[in-house]
Amino acid sequence: MPKLFTGVFIILFFQVSQVVFGQSSISGFIHDELTQVPLEFASVAVYQLSDSSLINGGITDEEGAFLISELDAGDYLLKITYIGYGSKTISDLHLGDKESKNLGVLSISPDQTTLEGVEIQGQKLSTEFQLQKQSYSAESFQAAQGGNAADILKNLPGVAINVDGQISIRGTSGFVVMINGKPVQSDPMMILSQLPANSIEKIDWISSPSAQYDSEGKAGMINVITKSGTTDGLYMQFNTKLGMPPIENYGNAERAKRYGADFNLNYLKGKWDISVGASFQRNDIAGRRVGNVMTMSGDTTTFFPSEGERSIDEKNYSGRFTIGYNPSERSAFSLGFYGAVRDKLRTADILYYDNHAIANGQELYNFQYFNANDQSRRGDVVLGSLDYSHIFENESKISTSFLYEYSMLGGPTSNLNLGYPDLSTVYQEEYNTNDNPLNGIRYNLDYTFKPYSFGQLLAGYQFRKLDHKGDFLYERKNNETGEFELVPEFSSNVELKRNIHAAYLQLDKEFEKFNYGIGLRVESMDRSFDLEDKAGIVDTVYQYDFIRPFFSANLGYQVNEELQLKASFSQRVERTTTFKMNPFPEREHSETLEQGDPNLLPEFINQVELGVIKTWDASSFYATAYHSRVKNLVNRVNTVYNDTILNRIYSNVGTGKSTGIDMGLEIFPTSWWKVFGGLNLYHYSIKGSFDDRPVNTESWVHSININTTFTLQKNWSIQGTLNYLSERVTALGEDSRFYTPSIVVKKSWMDGRLAANLVWQNIDMGILDTNEQRITTYRDGEFYTTTNYIQEVDMIILNLSYTLNRSKNKAKFVKSEFGEKEF
């Protein structure tokens, strides 16, 4: 089937090529005059010189390139416009018959009103709007400096974060991350946590991606753009981070530590572009948890309330390099290497202080015990990539990319149930571990046809292969012999294999005040999941495959220079991971097992949007109404394993729907005060079934992000932020509200080359409930569980940064494609 699929695409590809023919054309590049950075989505229009009538037009790509073809011989006028920049006109352009005229690099300057009203006061606009995306400047979020990409992302409109550090966009946690336009299918949170915030120029949010992008991601795509430049020379940046000792230790056995350092080096000379970078971050979080669980069986109700430490120790190491070689202005090669280690230890030392059961009003027993539980997760990743692109004489473009990844994922969990207060008494000691080697490859081939009268045509093919094995060992200590013995019902060997072939056609067109894009992406996926137990009883292969089209459409209308309307439709998919498919339980801690479903289906998403963008002076406002429908929604739900243990299961529970409005505002009340904020308000519902019982929940949810900056002097500023997420429902319960306020004071010297900021993170002062969240699940007549996760507050962090040759950096690095998602 994949060979047939590929053959059909190749035939279609060449048939489309045959119908495309050209006349005369005009091409070039649009750059920022001050920084020489390419400008994407700049508008280029060609007018008849004699009567100023519009003939054709287009927009620039991510490299600032444009090409306008299907022009007759004659005299023309070309006009360049871009939001926030002054327009530029080139008159008296003469084209001969079938002539291809390349204008080279054309530079435009930022609008002088913006420079005088904002830039001189040391503050820049945070947001930039295009039809398919919104871009946010990383340096606008000072509290994130010294942190990682996730610390930037959580401040954007429509984005929310919970107590576990999981980020959601418009209430959805499934999104794809791109690094400098290259999509990676790994776990977004691991990618974002490894990328230093200091290396990021901006973040693009693409809520409704076109067909040329990967189809994955319920909430669209996040494109992280690293700092870049175009001038020859050496660029270096060094950053350090030091966290003050915790103000509150929450009774944890060890004090949390926070420190780190990273550097980026970029050397650009002639045809060569070499980038090297490394980072180390330690980011421990102190905390505790307070919980209560009830299970009901017949006339017996069992209670086991608990309280104790829940802390996280996390270390990230990474090293990377990229070598770029441009043999000509039209060709480019890039070789990349990335290696990383991530160690994360979650300690849950919990006292079950009143474990008892009641039947017919009589207490059956009552005792206390102490649960010492450590869960360690480690991910070792090594990968390499090779990329090539070429622009032909007719301005069509071909690009190809190959990536290979090897990862070793896994780590042990130890669980001890001890007597209390006499901890020498061992009731039960268990140990489970897993080794998960992963091999993955990705290959892309993309072709951009030269523009024609009917629009810009793009076509491409992608192949991805994943082979992920897992060896899960679960042992329990025999208290009489002192030996650990295999627990076969919890031990297994698994192997997930997944092959994906994808092809797309995309047509983009701009005319008069309209611009639109329509696309079709077709995917063929074959998935097999091989499951064996260690007792030799279970040996089953679960198969799943599909061939499925994914449609997309975008439409924009420029009412005037300050007002734009837009609409979009997209279809996407969220695939399952190996962990969520393994049905053999894993011991998370004393009261919880966790397991997957080998028949778990991918989630399929349809989304429609209607939006408006308004800009004026140095301010902007946008509002986007949206509706999304998720088929085969995956939720983590609970069942009763026994009277003191619940079983968490990943399952398809039905259909999820979200209908809401996402709004953002950026204004300057004065030249020294900027306010940037966003509100996401939506109605969320889940309808379906689990365990042959109906699931039908709904609620209104909202999240608010506010960022306000005061520029006291040229080199001094104070910034305050607030991230707030309201209560929300889940398939079998609800999550409480969650919020984190912070303040940062920044001082710079040496024209900004040396900078320091002091961050007061998670402000609480003993009077708020900052950085804590209650998670509750229940099912009538079976169980009720509620846990309040309380994490560290009032954290003081100092960041220092020194940059040599600030404008010359263009370091861009390869990132993981597969392994980080499984981590």
DSSP secondary structure string, 327-372?
Answer: EETTEEEEEEEEEEEEEEEEEEEEEEEEEEEEETTEEEEEEEEEEE
Contacts of 177 (CB under 8 A, 6+ apart): 183, 184, 186, 188, 191, 192, 221, 222, 223, 224, 815
* Structural element, H or E, at residue 16: helix 2-19
Q: What is the mean pLDDT of residues 34-38?
A: 72
**Distance between CA atoms of residues 735 and 725, nearest Å:** 10
Please state the length of the chain: 823
Both tokens assigned to 796: 């003081």
* Structural element, H or E, at residue 573: strand 563-574
**Distance between CA atoms of residues 368 and 353, nearest Å:** 5
Mean of per-residue pLDDT scores for the chain: 85
Count of CB atoms situated within 10 Å of the CB of 196 = 27
* Structural element, H or E, at residue 25: strand 24-32
Fold of 121-449+457-478+488-822: Maltoporin; Chain A (2.40.170)
Decide if 415 contacts 402 (C-beta within 8 A): no
Does residue 427 surpass a pLDDT of 90? yes
- Of all residues in the chain, the percent with pLDDT exceeding 90 is 45
Count of CB atoms situated within 10 Å of the CB of 622 = 21
Q: What is the pLDDT of residue 119?
A: 42
**Distance between CA atoms of residues 147 and 139, nearest Å:** 12
* Structural element, H or E, at residue 74: strand 74-81
Q: Taking the CA of residue 163 as centre, how many other CA atoms within 13 Å lie in the half-sphere pointing to its CB?
A: 26
Q: What is the mean pLDDT of residues 360-378?
A: 91
Torsion of CA 413, 419, 420, 424, to 10 degrees: -90
* Structural element, H or E, at residue 117: helix 112-117
**Strands 592-595 and 645-670, bridge-based pairing:** parallel
Decide if 592 contacts 646 (C-beta within 8 A): yes
**Distance between CA atoms of residues 284 and 243, nearest Å:** 10
Does residue 89 surpass a pLDDT of 50? yes
Sheet holding 88-95, edge to edge: 54-59, 43-48, 74-81, 88-95
Place of tokens 């081939």: 445
Alpha helices in 132-251 (DSSP H): 149-153, 188-194
Decide if 68 contacts 27 (C-beta within 8 A): yes
Decide if 369 contacts 420 (C-beta within 8 A): yes
Q: Which of 70-84, 238-252, 287-301, 748-762 has the lowest mean pLDDT?
A: 70-84
Q: What is the pLDDT of residue 189?
A: 66
Alpha helices in 199-349 (DSSP H): none
Both tokens assigned to 4: 């047939």
Q: What is the mean pLDDT of residues 633-656?
A: 89
Does residue 808 surpass a pLDDT of 60? no
Q: What is the pLDDT of residue 307?
A: 97
Does residue 335 surpass a pLDDT of 90? yes
Contacts of 810 (CB under 8 A, 6+ apart): 227, 228, 229, 230, 235, 266, 268, 273, 275
Question: Model-level pTM?
Answer: 0.81
Helices then strands, counting H and E runs in the chain, come out as 5, 47
Backbone angles phi, psi at 389, to 5 degrees: -145, 150
How open is the CA angle 172-178-183, to the nearest 5 degrees? 100
Q: What is the pLDDT of residue 188?
A: 62
Decide if 664 contacts 622 (C-beta within 8 A): yes
**Distance between CA atoms of residues 196 and 193, nearest Å:** 8
- Give me the long-range contacts of 543-548 (CB less than 8 A, separation at least 24): 544/599, 544/601, 545/1, 547/1, 547/5, 547/522, 547/523, 548/522, 548/523, 548/573, 548/604
Decide if 667 contacts 100 (C-beta within 8 A): no
* 177, β-bridge pairs: 184, 222
Reported confidence tier of residue 18, pLDDT bands at 50, 70, 90: very low
Who wins on pLDDT, 22 or 488?
488
Who wins on pLDDT, 396 or 195?
396
Q: What residue type is assigned to position 608 of the chain?
A: V
Q: Taking the CA of residue 172 as centre, how many other CA atoms within 13 Å lie in the half-sphere pointing to its CB?
A: 34
Q: Which of 598, 696, 688 is nearest to 650 (CA)?
A: 598
**Distance between CA atoms of residues 550 and 480, nearest Å:** 60
Q: pLDDT tens, 488-510?
A: 989 999 999 999 999 999 999 88
Domains of the chain by residue range: 2-110, 121-449+457-478+488-822
Does residue 651 surpass a pLDDT of 50? yes
Q: What is the pLDDT of residue 227?
A: 65
Reported confidence tier of residue 186, pLDDT bands at 50, 70, 90: low
Does residue 700 surpass a pLDDT of 90? yes
Decide if 41 contacts 47 (C-beta within 8 A): no
Place of tokens 């919980």: 291
Decide if 243 contacts 257 (C-beta within 8 A): yes
* Structural class in CATH, domain 2-110: mainly beta
Does residue 624 surpass a pLDDT of 60? yes
DSSP 8-class letter at 212: T
**Distance between CA atoms of residues 243 and 257, nearest Å:** 7
Q: Is 19 left (phi over 0), alpha (psi -120 to 50) or beta?
A: alpha
- Of all residues in the chain, the percent with pLDDT exceeding 70 is 89
Q: pLDDT tens, 298-316?
A: 899 999 999 999 999 999 8
Sequential DSSP letters for 675-740: EEEEEEEEEEEEEEEETTEEEEEEEEEEEEEEEEEEEEETTEEEEEEEEEE--EEETTEEE--EEE
Place of tokens 């025999």: 478
**Distance between CA atoms of residues 24 and 767, nearest Å:** 70
> Which sign, positive or negative, has the C-alpha torsion 167, 168, 173, 176?
negative
Contacts of 701 (CB under 8 A, 6+ apart): 171, 681, 682, 683, 684, 725, 726, 727, 728
Q: What is the mean pLDDT of residues 411-430?
A: 93
3-state secondary structure of 49: coil
Q: Which of 642, 716, 726 is nearest to 679 (CA)?
A: 726
3-state secondary structure of 9: helix
**Distance between CA atoms of residues 701 and 253, nearest Å:** 37
Sequential DSSP letters for 756-790: EEEEEES--TTTS-TTEEEEEEEETTTEEEEEEEE
**Distance between CA atoms of residues 641 and 81, nearest Å:** 64
**Distance between CA atoms of residues 639 and 218, nearest Å:** 27
* Structural element, H or E, at residue 822: helix 819-822
Reported confidence tier of residue 115, pLDDT bands at 50, 70, 90: very low
3-state secondary structure of 229: coil
3-state secondary structure of 192: helix
Q: Taking the CA of residue 156 as centre, how many other CA atoms within 13 Å lie in the half-sphere pointing to its CB?
A: 27
Q: What residue type is assigned to position 411 of the chain?
A: G
Q: Which of 479, 399, 501 is nearest to 446 (CA)?
A: 399
Does residue 451 surpass a pLDDT of 50? yes
Place of tokens 């109605």: 683
Q: pLDDT tens, 262-297?
A: 998 888 888 898 888 899 999 999 999 999 999 998
Burial environment of residue 50 by CB neighbours within 10 A (0 to 12, 13 to 18, 19 or more):
exposed
Q: Which of 568, 547, 548 is nearest to 556 (CA)?
A: 568
Q: Which of 119-123, 152-156, 473-477, 643-647 has the lowest mean pLDDT?
A: 119-123
- Strand positions, DSSP E, 420-513: 426-448, 456-477, 484-486, 492-511
Count of CB atoms situated within 10 Å of the CB of 669 = 10
Q: pLDDT tens, 720-768?
A: 999 999 999 888 889 999 999 999 999 988 887 899 999 999 999 999 9
